[in-house]
Structure 1
Amino acid sequence: MKKLAIVTSHPIQYYAPWFRYLANIGCLSIKVFYLWDFGVKQQVDEGFGQAFQWDIPLLNGYEYEFVTNVSPNPGTHHFWGLQNPSLISQVRAYNPDAVLLMSYNYASIYRLLWNWNTHNIPLLFRGDSHRLLPIKGIKAFVRRQFITQIYRYFAACLYVGKANYEYFQYHGVSKNNLFFSPHAIDNDRFSTQARTAKQQAITWKQELGIRQDHAVILFAGKFEETKRPIDLLQAFLQAKLDNVSLLFVGAGILEDDLKSQAAGQENIYFAPFQNQSLMPRTYAIADLVVLPSYGETWGLVINEAMCLARPVIVSNHVGCSQDLVHPGKNGLIFSAGDVSALADSLQAAFSDRKSLQQWGETSRRIISKYTYMEATQGLTQAIDHILKK
């Protein structure tokens, strides 16, 4: 059995179930090397602006070890947030056949790249960057040249979707070294809780004070500029929808601005950050989920919503838009930053409530093909490819 070392920043609620899946199917022997302990200990999240730890198991069912992080300000919000002097020696001690990196733009990862013998033990990379928001000028040119050089360290790259595939090709990665490993979540956890979540959502709707005969538009995530929650608030006010409420779930730097602009307006509600065990209920309360981000790498919130059979609206700068959103079939796509276009999309979605429900069922069918099994197939194909070289 081939041995794979996986190097990633910290335990993440989307990746941990995949690692568990990889360990259980028996096609690979894996060990995950974590560079930070966020998520399993209560710490402040920069985006949410509050301390928490995830309330689902992130370290069960697979082999892992933490690599000591000596950064005085640990985290993934800056380059020096991951400084792990023993990373290379710990990975070497595992004696893997290949190493998979889940990110690279941190001090520790660059040190590994520059000191690793890629001829003896090849490196793989799985990323989700895209160019849906293209940057021009001399800085963009220099950045392209630099990233192209970085990707030459990798024997193969795993792409999560169409926009990410184009990003890799733009930076010189041959299509022969690209393998599809789609972004996925624990679909089973969400789908098996759908019925219970629906009942919980009825009670929660009453607790929030939302009228039971109102449809609900949901924004769930960090209240930050990149995710553009204020665009959604303004679009909702423009759309003037009958019997529809808007619910913001989360926290972040824009919370005060959002609440200030919503003050005195009808049918706009707020709920605090919801931990992972409550996310099925969070989506179950919604009749439509909106992600208006300006530069979202993928948007796994959309995967989660679609598992609960929810129709979706996303901006064209959301990485999953080309893969998961089929306009007029399970949702709509609008131009990022265009509040009027988003308002028009909201009006179109609620012009036919029956079609909106059908969009939700289509969402469920689409997301059924974005699974850990599909992600694993791409990974194993890439490993077979690079070890035959």
Structure 2
Amino acid sequence: MRILIIHQYLWSHYKGKIYSELQKIVNTHKNDELLVLQTSLNEITRANLGPVDRSIHQYNYQVLVDDYYENIPNTTRARKMLYWVRKFKPDVVNVSGYYEPAMNMVIFYCRMVGIKVIISVDSTEEDKPNIWWKETIKRFVVNRAQGFFCYGSKASEYMLKFGAKPEQILLENNAVDNEKIASIYQEAYPNRDNEKQKFALRPYNFIYTGRLMAIKNVKNLVIAFSKVKNKDWGLIILGDGAEGENLRNYVADNQIEGVKFIEGQAWYNVPKFMAIGDVFVLPSYSEPWGLVVNEAMVCGMPVVVSNKCGSSHDLVKNGENGYTFNPYDTEELAQILLKFVNEPQKINSFGDVSKEVIKKYSPGQVAQEMYSGFKKVLYEHK
């Protein structure tokens, strides 16, 4: 079985771990071969989050263009992807998404020459406003595939709406490098008090980590936090982005105490900052999944996640390891934050549940489900 995966950019450390685990599985089958095409090195919006760490990518891969993804014309992407499809001669191809012209060219070509296609899907119906003609195009593209790797139950629901059959849903999972993140967190935790003193933090802290963009809805998190009014609790905002200055000005203008801004960090430093937080919050208006929720749960943290994030439907057990909320309702979010302020003993008990829930969302498990999916599509859809 010859497997070809086409992905957008090499920077994705979490995908690197999954593909490395998949390579291990492939290596145990002498007639199997894996090749991953990484279209680019990175995307512009993540350029300040650290360089590509090639040591993570322990699998057979080719980088098509040494540039940012946004700088590569669709014609160049399509030409290079199709060159490798013809050169590698795969039995099954896994493409990332169904919304980019170059990826769609690959889908149509493979359909024409009889190569099986699996589409990786991180979109959900609630991601963006659904325009009828765009939905029609999506339906047409989706129905060219024989299988789907979905990042969560909401993504699979979206594919079923487009006409995918239940047996074509081959994966409902998404993972980060659990072992690495847990190791970094555990190494940093003993120095927690010193780091909190260094950043002049309060005894307890809610924490957001991610880009500071309008869609991330961090302002509503700040507004909700301002309603808490408890001197023992602070809010850490870890990240950079276009909304950074506006958020700082809003905090200053409204004299909101206890908010600490910290510049964005490379992925491998984020667990160190999780170690000085107590409750993780992701308030996004839209998030196909939100892998940072996985990271927080690996670190044993309670998670408060917007119900517009795909991961909220699979990872958050309301009242057990966290809560979901309407991202437009700051009062609802404030009341959830107060649950931890009023009962700080929830932090440890909820965190323990988080660590238990996240165990099955591991790179090894995702890789095994992917491999089984490739076999199913190839051998059961002759």
* SS of corresponding position for 1:281: helix
Alignment-mate amino acid for residue 306 of structure 1:
M
Note if contact 1:7-1:34 (Cα within 8 Å) is conserved in structure 2. Answer: yes
* SS of corresponding position for 1:350: helix
Distance 1:168 1:347 in 2: 37
Instruction: Tell me which protein shows more helix as a share of its residues.
Output: 2
Match of 1:256 among 228, 241, 245: 245
* SS of corresponding position for 2:14: coil
- RMSD of aligned alpha carbons: 2.2
Alignment-mate amino acid for residue 99 of structure 2:
N
Deviation at 1:221, TM superposition (A): 0.3
Match of 1:164 among 149, 155, 178: 155
Note if contact 2:39-2:69 (Cα within 8 Å) is conserved in structure 1. Answer: no
Query: 1:9 maps to what in 2?
Result: 8
Distance 2:327 2:362 in 1: 28
The percentage of aligned residue pairs carrying the same residue is 23
Match of 1:184 among 163, 175, 188: 175
TM-score by length of 2: 0.91
Alignment-mate amino acid for residue 13 of structure 2:
Q
Distance 1:234 1:335 in 2: 14
* SS of corresponding position for 1:240: coil
Deviation at 1:22, TM superposition (A): 1.0
Distance 1:295 1:277 in 2: 24
Note if contact 1:321-1:333 (Cα within 8 Å) is conserved in structure 2. Answer: yes
Change (3 A) 1:98 1:118: farther
Distance 1:150 1:107 in 2: 11
Note if contact 2:96-2:103 (Cα within 8 Å) is conserved in structure 1. Answer: no
Check if 1:121 corresponds to 2:115. Answer: yes
Query: 1:64 maps to what in 2?
Result: 61
Query: 1:207 maps to what in 2?
Result: 198
Change (3 A) 1:334 1:181: closer
**Structure 1 gap ranges (5+):** 40-44
Distance 1:77 1:103 in 2: 19
Deviation at 1:204, TM superposition (A): 2.4
Moved more, 78-87 or 103-112: 78-87
Match of 1:241 among 201, 225, 230: 230
Query: 1:104 maps to what in 2?
Result: 98
* SS of corresponding position for 1:296: coil
Moved more, 104-113 or 140-149: 104-113
Query: 1:321 maps to what in 2?
Result: 312
Match of 1:92 among 86, 102, 116: 86
* SS of corresponding position for 1:149: helix
Note if contact 2:42-2:68 (Cα within 8 Å) is conserved in structure 1. Answer: no
Change (3 A) 1:78 1:319: farther
Query: 1:352 maps to what in 2?
Result: 343
Deviation at 1:240, TM superposition (A): 1.6
Note if contact 1:38-1:53 (Cα within 8 Å) is conserved in structure 2. Answer: no
Distance 1:195 1:55 in 2: 24
Query: 1:42 maps to what in 2?
Result: none
Deviation at 1:234, TM superposition (A): 0.5
Distance 1:167 1:186 in 2: 27
* SS of corresponding position for 1:222: coil
Change (3 A) 1:344 1:352: same
Note if contact 2:75-2:102 (Cα within 8 Å) is conserved in structure 1. Answer: no
Distance 1:21 1:168 in 2: 26
Distance 2:87 2:148 in 1: 24
Check if 1:378 corresponds to 2:372. Answer: no
Note if contact 2:98-2:142 (Cα within 8 Å) is conserved in structure 1. Answer: no
Distance 2:364 2:143 in 1: 28
> Where does 1:285-324 land on structure 2 (aligned, <5 Å)?
285-324=276-315
**Structure 2 gap ranges (5+):** none
> Where does 1:13-92 land on structure 2 (aligned, <5 Å)?
13-25=13-25, 26-27=27-28, 28-38=32-42, 45-46=44-45, 51-54=48-51, 56-57=53-54, 60-68=57-65, 74-76=68-70, 80=74, 83-92=77-86
TM-score by length of 1: 0.90
Distance 2:343 2:78 in 1: 54
Moved more, 56-65 or 27-36: 56-65
Deviation at 1:220, TM superposition (A): 0.3
Deviation at 1:77, TM superposition (A): 9.3
Deviation at 1:89, TM superposition (A): 1.4
Distance 1:278 1:119 in 2: 45
Distance 1:289 1:38 in 2: 27
Match of 1:231 among 215, 220, 225: 220
- Deviations along 1:361-381, whole A, 9 cap, x unmatched? 100000011112221232123
* SS of corresponding position for 1:337: coil
* SS of corresponding position for 2:375: helix
* SS of corresponding position for 2:42: coil
Note if contact 1:194-1:280 (Cα within 8 Å) is conserved in structure 2. Answer: yes
Query: 1:143 maps to what in 2?
Result: 134
Distance 2:170 2:49 in 1: 35
Note if contact 1:55-1:277 (Cα within 8 Å) is conserved in structure 2. Answer: no
Deviation at 1:84, TM superposition (A): 4.3
Note if contact 2:22-2:368 (Cα within 8 Å) is conserved in structure 1. Answer: no
Query: 1:222 maps to what in 2?
Result: 211
